[in-house]
Structure 1
């Protein structure tokens, strides 16, 4: 495993983390504590130390699984979670952005995670009108001062949201989370230059483009009715799969899996600190971690941990 400095947080994070939306039960599978224990034990075994979760992956359900799994070695993990939403049911959430509501979410997250501090607490895909509330950031800064939050971050909903990215330093946020992958390079235009200018850490989510870059699907593939990709425009879906097939033939080295290459590709950008793919089981954790060892992942990256 390789490690990088998460921007000006100074945190040492593995270049591959563990995304945990799946633990909330919305990916067509209900997890048990023992399954989560095994996934995170495998992550630790391969050198991963970064976990990304959220208050609304289930009603703090993902957080509760994680809290139980790492209770014995909490200090060895960099734990990132988010705020701003309340889970009600499958793909059913409401937004909650007042200082009092967010402070309650923080306390609920701390309780679920069985910890007294969160390493990275992220504004979660909220609209600019909520982001621009000075009273919200004042409250959060007070929580930083008390030690309940080590660092603040912003998980931007649109991967071209320069408004929130450019304001990060002003609100004392030190990391940006954004959708970035070989099929969606929009952040390279405006978001990444702002991150580099401010020395913000960058977590790249959806690095496998919702599975299109996993290497499992050929042009013309169909998806089950309960698969989120079934709702994508068919022409756009087919165009993506055609592009993926071209990438497989012209960019992916022989003997390297498509998914490993796709994760490593994200890590070549000088702004990107870490990728946070989801994983359904221990084997996927191992496959994801192998991306860190590909020759694409340079030891000379600007944030490489020396």
Structure 2
């Protein structure tokens, strides 16, 4: 496993991290705790030392599973978690007052809850689970960040920005108070390359890349006849003719790179890791076979520049969360 520095936090983390949304058993259907713990343990065995979770993933269930893992292991495991917004609205709606998103009191309370769930004395990275750049310099949320750092309860503070809104963090990054930023970046959504990633490099802000496989779309396993379990959020994400659209586009990617559909997950993850502004990518991993596959890609090699350039024309900006 190759390791990278998470910006100004100074943390050395695996370039492939463990995305722990799915194991929270909310939105994603199919996770079982025993298998989730096996996947978590295997991830540590294979060199992963960074896990991204959130209070909102199963109302703390994901955090508690991660806490079980940490208690059973001797290795240093870096954990990032997230504070849910007060109004419980994902994503944050433009014009929302900061007081409906995050206050110092709310952040302090949530940090304490997460520390209990995780069984930790210090959280490596505490993040807001949504963000509006209009909140920079507003409200009292920063007071909580300063206090939590002074108390040794968090090492770094970050923001997780709204889906497909790559420019909705520039002001926060320029303020100098943000250590990390989490956002969507993949073959389809390459917009972070325009402003966000250059700003992260300039201000030494660590980057945590989510949705690297487009919720499964870039695995090559989603086709016109694909079905998802009842209650799984992907039924909405890939509704109507979206599965056919995705399938046609991933076939075009495979053809352009003279690759098989089975190679698409590797291509998708290596594309992201080829960017110098990326600290870590956090694919979701529900099962051991997914851990094995993803960890094998964390070797620091990325993609050949020729392939990276070919993938530029496959950018496809859209928002399937709506």
TM-score (norm 1): 0.86
Root mean square deviation of aligned Cα: 2.5
More strand by share: 1
Alpha-carbon distance in structure 1 between the residues aligned to 2:58 and 2:86: 9
Whether contact under 8 Å (1:19, 1:52) holds in the other structure is yes
TM-score (norm 2): 0.82
Alpha-carbon distance in structure 1 between the residues aligned to 2:226 and 2:259: 27
Whether contact under 8 Å (2:133, 2:172) holds in the other structure is no
Among 270, 273, 284, the residue aligned to 1:264: 270
Whether contact under 8 Å (2:31, 2:286) holds in the other structure is no
Question: Corresponding residue for 1:48?
Answer: 48
Whether contact under 8 Å (1:213, 1:259) holds in the other structure is yes
Question: Corresponding residue for 1:291?
Answer: 297
After TM superposition, the structure 1 = structure 2 runs for residues 96-245 of structure 1, keeping only pairs within 5 Å, are 97-130=102-135, 132-168=137-173, 170=175, 172-218=177-223, 220-224=224-228, 226-232=231-237, 234-245=240-251
Q: Which runs of 5+ in 1 are unaligned?
A: 89-94, 299-306
Alignment of 1:280 onto 2:286: yes
- Between stretches 126-135 and 46-55, larger displacement belongs to 126-135
Alpha-carbon distance in structure 2 between the residues aligned to 1:255 and 1:63: 34
Whether contact under 8 Å (2:254, 2:260) holds in the other structure is no
Alpha-carbon distance in structure 1 between the residues aligned to 2:64 and 2:196: 32
Q: Which runs of 5+ in 2 are unaligned?
A: 89-99, 305-322
The offset of 1:262, in angstroms, is 1.0
After TM superposition, the structure 1 = structure 2 runs for residues 30-49 of structure 1, keeping only pairs within 5 Å, are 30-32=31-33, 34-49=34-49
The offset of 1:254, in angstroms, is 6.1
Number of equivalenced pairs: 291
